[in-house]
Amino acid sequence: MPGAYYASMDITTAAAAGGCVLRSEEGLRAAHRAHAGELYRFALRQLGDAGTAEDIVQEVFLRAWRSASAFDERRGSLRAWLFAIARNLAVDHARSRAVRPVQPVESDRLVALAGGDGGFDEATMTAWTVEEALRRLSEDHRVALVETYLRGRPYADVSAELGIPVGTVRSRVFYGMKALRLVLDEMGVQL
């Protein structure tokens, strides 16, 4: 069993095997143990968001696994190769944020989408309108919006409850708001 062979050696020796370490589950786990902490700290310093840093580290190892045959020990160490992947992902993330910056909507504005002076009838209609608009969203987006905006829960709590990274919750909120705006526009609600 080749995986057991790589698991029994240290990561430096395994890396000298020319990327083979990344092809086995045990070797990939060893690489993760050896480098994930440093990669996380690097991504956190670059991006300033713990959830996004976790996503970057996960993506680094996914790409390394997919491209294991491209790793060449003669060109550099495994650590250097993983950091190059992390750097590229951090740059890509920063560029995508510059193109589509997050535009949070105030929670009171979300609740008061129908406008008016806030009488009981208008409040009821607003609640029904928002409820109907939320029903038209995907479940992932709906849960993220309800938990963060309407219930006012922190992203970290929602991510822990759902078992997903904080960055994924933020992404679902961002795209959920975009979808909610489209749904409300289709319903004739003016924002």
Q: Which domains does the chain have, with CATH numbers?
A: 2-99 (1.10.1740.10), 107-186 (1.10.10.10)
Query: 37 falls in which pLDDT band (50, 70, 90)?
Result: very high
Q: Give the pLDDT score at 7.
A: 38
What type of residue is 83?
F
Mean pLDDT of 104-127: 61
* Interval 143-182: pLDDT, tens: 999 899 888 889 999 999 889 999 999 999 999 999 988 8
Closest-CA residue to 51 (of 139, 59, 84): 59
In the chain, which ranges are continuous DSSP H helix? 2-8, 11-15, 25-47, 50-66, 78-99, 107-111, 120-135, 139-145, 155-162, 166-186
Residues 6+ apart with CB under 8 A from 28: 21, 22, 61, 64, 65
The pTM of the full predicted model, rounded to 2 decimals, is 0.47
